[in-house]
A and B are shown apart, each in its own frame.
Chain A
Amino acid sequence: MKIEINNKWVETFEEETILEVLKRNNIHVPTLCHIKDMLPTGACRICVVEDADSGKLIPSCSFPVYDGLKVKTHSQKVISSRKTIVELLLSNHPDDCLYCVRNGNCELQSLSDNLQVRERKIRGNKNHHKLDLSSSSIIRDPEKCILCGRCVRICEEVMEVSAIDFINRGNKTVIGTTFNEGLNTSSCVNCGQCIMVCPTGALSEKKHFPEILSAINNPKKQVVVQYAPAISVSIAEDFDFKAGTDVNGKLNAALRAIGFDKVFDTTFSADLTIMEEGTELINRIKNGEKLPLITSCCPAWVKYAEEFYPEFLTNISSCKSPQQMLGAILKSYYAQKNNINPANIYSVAIMPCTAKKFEGQRDEMTNNGYSDVDAVLTTRELSELIKTFGIDFKNIEPELTDSPHGVRSTAGKLFGVSGGVMEAAIRTAYFKLTGSELLNFKVKSVRGLKGRKEAKIKIDNLELGVAVVSGLANAKILLEEIKNGRDDLHFIEIMACPGGCIGGGGQKINADENALKERMKALYIIDENETLKVSHKNPEVIELYKNFLEEPNSHIAHKLLHTTYKKRDVLL
């Protein structure tokens, strides 16, 4: 089958849309409402092309090709139609690009630039809406919303949360929660995937920049920072490195240059999590307690469970997430050892995630009245911080993390990708149950970006049933299966964001199409190349137990590193 694009014939497949053919042939037409791999809605009409035979405009995202179709992608008619659409979108859009969080990275801005919109041709009444600042993770600015609907669809189709939808109609249409109340009262799980797809500045994360700046400049405060396993393989993209470059050392140096007093690696506490969670798993299996055990690292998943599946709360590991574990250790053991009043420690975490901001301020995440973590920055905010401080990231000399709480295994590093917590846990559980190490550490069946992966792992006489899901819609399917009687699973890893933390809601917006794969590969390469491949051999973790925590799941470990969950009463 062939179609003609701009006077050139190209091969097409059955049931392809025009847009797919254009993409394959590297012909760029703009899109706004379109999301890759989702059913097209054809709502925004910015992707129109001209049917060369009839002269009609057709939306390329939703129009299936047929043999002999002839289209023009950039005819005069097409360009002027696209330009009108953009002018209409701009007619009630705020004129504050300079002050906008998405200045320089806004799809509407680049569209109007590419179409050479140089004046306000159409003047509409400006919309007046209040900022929604109610959520601890996500800020909504409905005045900047162009109603493309991508956030609504991600929230519904990928996350199965549906916290937001179109409300009212016509020129009164806005996107909002049930009864148009604050996001904090809705079922929003703070995953931030809506921010990732928003073309404008209508959705952004709550910034913690001013607080961090004043803490850094406060001589009384010791400002400590930790960064998640996914950060070192993600941040590089913002500084002209290829996607998937591991810039661990440069990251340490940049953080010190900004003024953080101590730089720690959350991957250290990922290892600690494996010790605690692995022990919990083994105990539950040995004592015949409630199974399957489900991971608790992902705060978006935890809130989802508290709202939609409270019956599974006792299945969720009582372990705090690595972010909170390290936070708790820093304000207890580390403070004691270094003779610092925990009140004078300001603890910052850099995460590829917006839900971590919510997690950081949960009531349960405190000890003796001190928050484990005081501020959480996303990958995006870290980039901004590095730029604000004028750091030459590309050429900065790499440095090591601070010790202790800086050494990590590569198993902990895998936490950054879907399946990684599982793989790390299997390695340690195998050792704890058999006394010997796995012959081959690589657990292929739980690797990769598929939304759902399952495996049966032989450990002596035990056949450990494991499942790994990412994207809460996939989690829902699995949980329903279990509710309906499925009982062959011992351990489940759930991450809210597709692909795990490397695809988190705090990551670079409009990243390269292959970025996710490259970040994943980078984590696997680290695991391949380094020698410390299991959490239980991390010397600093072993030392921490010897000097302070005694043993996994000890009384003090429970006090500092474990937590509880509660059913949440929100409008579902």
Chain B
Amino acid sequence: MLQNKAKILDKNQISRDNLIPILQEIQEREGFLSKKAITEVGQKMNLPTSKIYGVATFYNQFRFEPTGKYHIQLCRGTACHVLGSATILDEFEKQLKIKAGQTTSDGIFSLEIVACIGACGLAPVISVNGEFHAKLEINSVKEIINSYRNKSI
């Protein structure tokens, strides 16, 4: 992992302008931005970690915890919104006892908000590790969670 990061940092010209692409590439390889990663980027780029964390939290795309075994991507695009994705999100957060961007303490589920995933006909829709669940209702949230939880045992 260390080597990977070094490569990423070498490849990208080390200037503050490249901070976001560097963070994106680290997240792509490691799944999230760890304390260690942020510290190393800070050292290489001569940037305080608070600045890096400030930039990273500005954007929805960055995570600061590893993803769970089952990574739930919840669509908050227009069509899904119109058909009630906000209440679906609330329900997931309630059932999993985490906020979007977080991972459950047992490491099984993580929740991420994404913009349109191009399946508007299926709205409101989520994708769990690439598996789509369409036309969700509040009641179906618990079932979906349980089905994956049972699988993980």
Contacts and interface: CB of A to CB of B under 8 A. Distances in A.
A169 B50 contact: no
B42 A168 contact: no
Interface in B51-90: 51-54, 57-58, 64
Given A156-B48, A571-B49, A169 B57 contact: yes
A156 B51 CA distance: 10
Contacts of B39: 571-572
A295 B58 CA distance: 40
Contacts of B43: 572
A156 B49 CA distance: 12
Interface string B117-130: 00000000000000
Given A178-B38, A572-B39, A572-B48, A169 B53 contact: no
Contact of B53 (A156, A161, A165, A187): A165
A167 B49 contact: no
A572 B42 contact: yes
Contacts, number: 47
Interface residues of B, number: 15
Contacts of B38: 178, 571
A178 B58 contact: no
B57 A167 contact: yes
Interface string A504-538: 00000000000000000000000000000000000
**Which secondary structure characterizes the binding site on chain A?**
loop
B97 interface: no
A85 B117 CA distance: 38
B50 A162 contact: yes
Contacts of A572: 39, 42-43, 48-49
A142 to B, nearest CB: 14
Contacts of B53: 165, 167, 178-180
Interface string A482-522: 00000000000000000000000000000000000000000
Contacts of A186: 50
B35 interface: yes
A166 interface: yes
B57 A168 contact: yes
Given A178-B38, A571-B39, A572-B42, A166 B48 contact: no
30 contacts: A162-B50, A162-B51, A163-B48, A163-B50, A164-B50, A165-B50, A165-B51, A165-B54, A167-B53, A167-B54, A167-B57, A168-B57, A169-B58, A177-B50, A178-B35, A178-B38, A178-B48, A178-B49, A178-B53, A179-B35, A179-B64, A186-B50, A187-B48, A187-B50, A571-B35, A571-B38, A571-B39, A572-B39, A572-B42, A572-B43
Given A178-B35, A178-B38, A571-B38, 15 more contacts: A163-B50, A165-B48, A167-B53, A168-B58, A178-B48, A178-B52, A179-B35, A179-B53, A186-B50, A187-B50, A571-B39, A572-B39, A572-B43, A572-B48, A572-B49
Interface of A: 156, 161-169, 177-180, 186-187, 571-572
